[in-house]
A and B are shown apart, each in its own frame.
Chain A
Amino acid sequence: MKRKMSKVMVMVLLVACISIVFVGCGSNDNEINIAAQNVNETVILAHMAKILVEENTDATVNINTEFQGSSVLHQAMLNEEIDIYPTWTGTQLTGVLRYEGPNLTAEETYQRVKDGFEEEFNMTWGEPLGFNNTYVFTITDAIAEEYNLKKASDLAPYAEDWILAGDENFDTRSDAYPGWSEAYDIEFKEVVPMQYGVMYTALDNNEVQVAAAYSTDSRIAKLNLVMLEDDKEFFPDYSGAYVISQSFLEDNTEVLDIVNKLGGMIETAEMAALNLRFDEGEEPDVIANDFLKEKGLI
């Protein structure tokens, strides 16, 4: 008898849970779901989109910035659970579209992901936001001054004595060091992959002389590092932009124009500065609001 009771209880609880999930997912017509990967940059961009959409429409905007990785976001949009998310062109080119060819220019990359997403997934891309979060070789200002280094090809005479640090994939990915080394015809004494954050300590201690950082990383400015220009334009393009569901746009055509107000508005250094504010603990909605006001968008 007791056992039966508990079985019934379990069933009731299960049904309750499932119905809560379904109710939670059911989207209201006047609701817009913005999502983002939980890293500084995309969280800020998601809040910018939220503020802009709220200013210009009377829809309710839901925001969820706790997604782990852009492939999860893509899946969620395929399931029509989210309508807009910010990401990087290069990420989705190699991730969702599984592109493996030679590195493309910024325009080619954008065109390819836009066409690919429109044809295959019924999703489109907003205009590129202006910044490019790609690999950039960084050195300490002391070394930059001592050896007078400004662009990546300036490394040629010194590389054979220097150690280069990169993230966990940097030594093996063909769009990272192996390809770079071929394009520039420069080989470092050693390439050491490590946890991304450790690189900055290693650079600071002069255990490595060059580190392949991500260009919008806030630590570049914080540690006074010098970015070497990628003068042969080798590294793939990782421009930030919003992906928008086209079935959502059918009922909300104005949203594309609203989001495109940000097109080309954020330079790489500006994005890095916003990321720094986030990393130092400021709230993303405050950061987003300040930036939009500064640019006269709200």
Chain B
Amino acid sequence: MSGNKSFFSLLFNYCIDQHSRIISLTLEHLYISLVALLITLVICIPLGIYITRNEKLKPYVIGMANIFQTIPSLALLGFLIFILGIGNKNAIAVLVMFAMLPVIQNTYIGIKNVTPSLVQAAKGMGMTDRQILFKVELPLALPVIIGGIRVASVWIIGTASLAAAIGGGGLGRLIFSGLSSLRNEVIFAGAFPATLLALLSDQGFKLLQAYLTPERRAKRVLKKANRVEGTEKTESKKILEKMGEI
């Protein structure tokens, strides 16, 4: 068991010695992941909405995202060196391609699953297509879309470690360096913060997802209305009580 003991003391010493490097690499990891996630959202949410309006394109768009997601990311990184060169830029492009599928798919499914009668009602009230999208469909689809973003964020944070293989930064530097010099404490010092980031992001989006469910949002709206109307037992309070039972 001396192996174990020395692993922890090695790890401890390494973390003390190199804490500023570990922190800056963690921040860089977070930066790469965030940029990749933002680009993914900017591309994929509109794309997901677009294919709900043009169903014919759906198999092609989903199929393409599916292919991107299936190609081993390391192979994709290697291939893109010839186009984008080495470094974070290339890594971010690969991460975006890799994470497209869950966002596109969930945006599509979320909108498709909005009860048609609600859309009909909105139409009946004279809403324009744009209003229906932004005031009815997207708010109702939001928890599903966030679910897709949640999956994408975990994938991105996990895969971002590969950036170091092609001269990018992030915690992968520690992981690859530890792997090539057979130093487990260095691998761990890179892998642990990366895992932690992924878990935190997963939990964060999970909470956000719950916070944005239509029920919870309706509750908040009604509570607000209550405060404005005063202490009388109003209609909205009754609804709230009913919802509490659900």
* A residues in contact (CB < 8 Å) with B: 69, 71, 165, 167-169, 172-173, 192-195, 198, 201-202, 205, 207-208
* B residues in contact (CB < 8 Å) with A: 78, 81-82, 85-87, 164-167, 173, 176-177, 179-182
Report whether A205 and B85 are in contact in the complex, using a CB–CB cutoff of 8 Å. Answer: yes
Report whether B165 and A205 are in contact in the complex, using a CB–CB cutoff of 8 Å. Answer: no
Report whether B177 and A194 are in contact in the complex, using a CB–CB cutoff of 8 Å. Answer: no
Residue of A nearest to B87 (CB): A192
Report Cα–Cα, A173/B178, bound state, in Å. Answer: 12
Report whether A205 and B81 are in contact in the complex, using a CB–CB cutoff of 8 Å. Answer: yes
Residue of B nearest to A69 (CB): B182
Report whether A193 and B167 are in contact in the complex, using a CB–CB cutoff of 8 Å. Answer: yes
Report whether B179 and A168 are in contact in the complex, using a CB–CB cutoff of 8 Å. Answer: yes
A69-B182, A194-B86 known; 6 other A-B pairs, CB under 8 Å?
A167-B180, A168-B179, A193-B164, A194-B166, A201-B81, A207-B85
Report Cα–Cα, A173/B177, bound state, in Å. Answer: 10
Interface of A, helix, strand, loop or mixed by DSSP:
loop
Cβ of A158 to closest chain B Cβ, rounded Å = 20
Report Cα–Cα, A251/B97, bound state, in Å. Answer: 62
Report whether B182 and A192 are in contact in the complex, using a CB–CB cutoff of 8 Å. Answer: no
Cβ of B179: which chain A residues have Cβ within 8 Å of it? Answer: 168
Cβ of B176: which chain A residues have Cβ within 8 Å of it? Answer: 168, 193, 195
Residue of B nearest to A201 (CB): B81
Report whether B167 and A165 are in contact in the complex, using a CB–CB cutoff of 8 Å. Answer: yes
Q: Could you say which of A71, A169, A172, A192 contacts B167, with CB atoms under 8 Å apart?
A: A192
Cβ of A167: which chain B residues have Cβ within 8 Å of it? Answer: 180
Cβ of A147 to closest chain B Cβ, rounded Å = 22
Chain A-chain B contacts (Cβ-Cβ < 8 Å), number: 54
* Given A193-B164, A194-B167, A195-B176, A202:B182 Cβ within 8 A: no
Report whether B167 and A202 are in contact in the complex, using a CB–CB cutoff of 8 Å. Answer: yes
Cβ of A177 to closest chain B Cβ, rounded Å = 13
Report whether B177 and A192 are in contact in the complex, using a CB–CB cutoff of 8 Å. Answer: no
Report Cα–Cα, A69/B183, bound state, in Å. Answer: 13
Residue of B nearest to A198 (CB): B166
Which 5 A-B pairs give the minimum distances between C-beta atoms?
A194-B167, A192-B167, A168-B176, A195-B165, A168-B180
Q: Could you say which of A69, A71, A168, A192 contacts B86, with CB atoms under 8 Å apart?
A: A192
Cross-chain pairs A/B with CB under 8 angstroms, 5 sampled = A194-B165, A198-B167, A201-B81, A205-B85, A208-B86
Report Cα–Cα, A202/B87, bound state, in Å. Answer: 10
* Given A193-B173, A205-B81, A207-B86, A198:B165 Cβ within 8 A: yes
Report whether B177 and A172 are in contact in the complex, using a CB–CB cutoff of 8 Å. Answer: yes
Report Cα–Cα, A207/B167, bound state, in Å. Answer: 11
Report Cα–Cα, A195/B166, bound state, in Å. Answer: 6
Report whether A202 and B81 are in contact in the complex, using a CB–CB cutoff of 8 Å. Answer: yes
Report whether A168 and B164 are in contact in the complex, using a CB–CB cutoff of 8 Å. Answer: yes
Q: Which of A168, A205, A207 has the most CB of B within 10 A?
A: A168
Q: Which of A71, A194, A207 has the most CB of B within 10 A?
A: A194
Cβ of B180: which chain A residues have Cβ within 8 Å of it? Answer: 167-169
Report Cα–Cα, A94/B137, bound state, in Å. Answer: 63
Cβ of B191 to closest chain A Cβ, rounded Å = 15
Cβ of A206 to closest chain B Cβ, rounded Å = 10
Cβ of A198: which chain B residues have Cβ within 8 Å of it? Answer: 78, 81, 86, 165-167
Cβ of A9 to closest chain B Cβ, rounded Å = 34
Q: Which of B86, B165, B176 has the most CB of A within 10 A?
A: B86
Cβ of B85 to closest chain A Cβ, rounded Å = 5
Cβ of B179 to closest chain A Cβ, rounded Å = 7
